[in-house]
Amino acid sequence: MISVQDGQNQILRQLPEPTSPEIVAVTRARERVLAEDLHAPFDVPPTDNSAVDGYAVASDDVPTGRTRELDVVAELAAGAVFDGAVAPGQAVRIMTGAPMPRGADTVYPQEVVERRGDRLGVGPIPKGANVRKRGEDVQAGTIAIERGTVLRAQELGLITSLGQWQVLVHRRPRVALLSTGDEVIEPGTPRKAGQIYDANRFTLRGSIEQCGGEVIDLGIVADVRDELRARLLEGAGVGDIVVTSGGVSVGVLDLVKDVLDEIGAIDFWQVAMQPGRPLAFGRVGSAHFFGLPGNPVASMLAFMLFVRPAIYKLAGRRRLFPDTAEATATEAMSKKKGRREFKRGIVQWTNGRWEARTTGPQGSGILSSMAAGNCLIVLEEDRGDVAVGETVLVEPF
C-alpha cells in the first residue's frame, strides 16, 4: 500500500517539463496557461486621469472652507487631451477617464458644483480627489501576470489593456482515453444481458476537458491482449498521456498490467484510499500511462487525485491541487483508520457556517453520488469515525 500523497509525489516526479509554448489570440486564450511572465511595457493607466465626470482644477486655487467662482475654459470629451494648462481661476470640463490637464490635480464631480454658463461655483475639496494615478493599475516593467497562471476573463482583459492581442501559452496536454472490458458497450447501441454502457469514458472525457487537456478518444477495447496492445500503442503515438479505465483489479482478465509490462513500464499500486484502491502508473512509448480502476466513482476520483495534477503540471500550471475548506459534519460518517476516504458530499452555508453531509450510499459504483454532490469530503488517514459536529475538510467540485 502507498499513501495518496506518496503516489502523487511519485507521479509528479516523473513529469519534468511542461508542454512547449504556442502563440494564440487572446480571444482563444481563456482557460489556457500563460507560458511566460507578462511584463507591462507601460503604465496602466498611462496618465493621471479623471475618475468621474466633472471639472478639473488646481486645488491650491480653491481656498479651504470657502466657495469660489471659476471660469470653465474648455470641454474635454473622453479621449481628448487638453493642450493648454489650467491657470488659477480656471476649470476644465472633463469626462471619466480623460487625461488630467496640465496644472490640474483635483476633479469636482459634476453633482457638487453649480454651473452658470461658463462660470462654476465650487466649495472646498481635498487635493487629489477623484483622480486616478498613472500606473495605479499596473506599473511599467512589473510582472502583470505570472507564468503558470490560468487565464480567466479578468486576465484576458488585463492582457489587452497592455495592448497585446496575442499571448504565449502552453500547448494543451493531449490525453488519449480508452475504456476496457468485454462487458462495456457504446451508448446508443442496443444492450444485451450482462452488458453495461460505458460511463467512464465520458466522465473522464469531461474531466480532461475541464482541466485543460485535449481528448483523443480511442473508444472501448475488449479484454483481448492483442487489441489492447495495439490500442495502447496507438494512444502512445498521439498522446502525452494515455488513460484507461478498468482491467487493473486482480481478476483473470485484467490484462492492462500484462500488456504494459510488455510494451512499456508499469508500477501497479494499491493506494491507501477509498474508493479506488488499484492504480497503475507507468509509460507506454513516450507517453505517461494511467490505468484507472473500472468502478465509475473510483475512476473519476483517481483521475482527480492523480491524473489531474499530472495534466496541470504538463500544462505548466503553477497550482496543481485544489483549495480545500472546513465544514461541520451534520451526519455521522464511518471511517477506517489508515487510509484516506473520500465521501461525495453536499456542502452548504447554513446557520452561519459551512455544513457538510454525504450524498447517501457511497459505493464505488454509484455514480449518481457524484452527480448529487457538490464536493468531496476528505477524511484523512489518521482519522476514525466522524461524529456529528466534528470539522471535516471539503474539496468543492
Choose between 180 and 359: whose C-beta lies nearer to ligand AMP.
180
Q: Which is nearer to ligand AMP, 184 or 273 (CB)?
A: 184
Partner touching 106 among Mg ion, ligand AMP, none, CB below 5 to 8 Å by kind: none
**Which spans of this chain sit near ligand AMP (rule: CB under 6 A)?**
179, 181, 183-184, 196, 198-201, 245-249, 251, 293-296
Tell how strand 391-396 and strand 375-379 pair up.
antiparallel
Q: From residue 217, how far is each of 70, 209, 238 by CA, in Å? A: 72, 12, 11
Name which of 245 and 362 has its Cβ closer to ligand AMP. 245
Nearest in space to 109 (alpha carbons), one of 45, 61, 69, 56: 56
Q: Which is nearer to ligand AMP, 59 or 203 (CB)?
A: 203
CB distance 397 to 330 below 8 Å = no
Which of ligand AMP, Mg ion, none does residue 198 bind (CB under 5 to 8 Å by kind)?
ligand AMP
Residue 373 touches which of ligand AMP, Mg ion, none (Cβ within 5-8 Å per kind): none
Q: Of these partners, Mg ion, ligand AMP, none, which one is at the site of residue 199 (CB under 5 to 8 Å by kind)?
A: ligand AMP
Identify the bridge partners of residue 21 per DSSP, sorted by sequence position.
170
Cβ at position 256, least distance to Mg ion in Å: 9
Four-CA torsion 304, 213, 249, 259, nearest 10 degrees: -150
C-alpha cell at 353: 457556517
Cβ distance to Mg ion smaller for residue 246 or 291: 246
Please choose which of Mg ion, ligand AMP, none residue 34 contacts, taking the beta carbon within 5 to 8 angstroms, the exact cut-off set by kind: none
- From the list Mg ion, ligand AMP, none, pick the one residue 293 interacts with, judged by a Cβ distance below 5 to 8 Å according to partner type: ligand AMP
Residue nearest ligand AMP, CB atom distance: 294
Pick the closer one to Mg ion by CB: 101 or 247: 247
**2 or 185: whose CB is closer to ligand AMP?**
185
**SS percent in the chain: helix, strand, coil, step 5:** 20, 35, 45
Q: Evaluate whether 246 touches 180 at the Cβ level (below 8 Å).
A: yes
Q: Give 109 or 365: the residue with its C-beta nearer to ligand AMP.
A: 365
CB of 205: closest distance to ligand AMP in angstroms? 11
d(CA 82, CA 94): 10
Q: Kindly state the smallest distance separating residue 203's Cβ from Mg ion, in Å.
A: 16
Closest CA to 33 of 20, 42, 45, 44: 20
**Smallest distance from ligand AMP to CB 244, Å:** 9
CB atoms near residue 148 (< 10 Å): 18
296 contact, one of ligand AMP, Mg ion, none, CB 5-8 Å limit per kind:
ligand AMP
- How far apart are CB 239 and ligand AMP at their closest, in Å? 18
- The residue among 7 and 246 lying less far from Mg ion, judged by its C-beta, is 246
Beta carbons within 8 Å of 178's beta carbon, 6+ residues apart: 201, 217, 218, 219, 220, 221, 231, 232, 235, 242, 243, 244
Phi/psi of residue 280, nearest 5 degrees: -110, 140
- Which stretches of the chain bind Mg ion, using CB under 5 A? 181, 246-247, 294
CB of residue 219 to Mg ion, shortest distance in Å: 15
Name which of Mg ion, ligand AMP, none residue 196 binds, using a CB cut-off of 5 to 8 Å depending on partner kind: ligand AMP
Least Cβ distance, residue 162 to Mg ion (angstroms): 52
Residue 396 C-beta: closest distance to ligand AMP, Å = 25
Shortest approach of ligand AMP to residue 230 CB, angstroms? Answer: 19
Q: Return the half-sphere exposure (C-beta side, CA atoms, 13 A cut-off) of residue 178.
A: 27
Omega before 275 cis (within 30°)?
yes
356 torsion bin: left (phi>0), alpha (psi -120 to 50), beta (else): beta
∠ Cα 294 375 309 (to 5°) = 60
Which of the listed partners (Mg ion, ligand AMP, none) does 118 bind, with a CB threshold of 5 to 8 Å by partner kind?
none
